[in-house]
Structure 1
């Protein structure tokens, strides 16, 4: 998966660079396809790859976690 993401990133980046460097009629199309590839292929694949085995609940703020944070802050003030 990480090699697929790297390959898609390099292809998108190469498309953007070629769009700026080459002087032909399809410059804007190359730049556009490169940007679309980054935002609709690379970023979702990267996000999926990084969050694949994580629990979303660990990153959510709940009342219990807020209370734990307040308790820890109170302990620091006592010192």
Structure 2
């Protein structure tokens, strides 16, 4: 998965750079496809890869987590 994300990132960035550097009829399309690739392919894949083994409840402000934070503050006296 890590290498797939890297490949898509490099392809998208290359497309954007070639769109700026080369003077072609479809330069703006190259830039557009690169941006679309970054935002609709690379970013969701990267987000999924980083969050797949995490529990979302650990990052929510629930009563239990607030109690843990208060206990931690009392212990360390921030």
Same fold at TM > 0.5: yes
Structure 1 consecutive aligned stretches of length 4 or more whose deviation exceeds 6 Å = none
Q: Please list the CA deviations of residues 34-79 of structure 1 after superposition, one character each: whole Å capped at 9, or x if unmatched.
A: 000000000000111111111111111101211221232233349x
Partner of 2:49: 49
- Root-mean-square deviation (CA), in Å? 1.5
Q: How many residues align?
A: 78
Partner of 1:58: 58
| Deviates further, 7-16 or 53-62 | 53-62
Gaps of 5+ in 2: none
Partner of 1:17: 17
CA distance in 1, matches of 2:3, 2:72: 42
Partner of 2:71: 71
Gaps of 5+ in 1: none
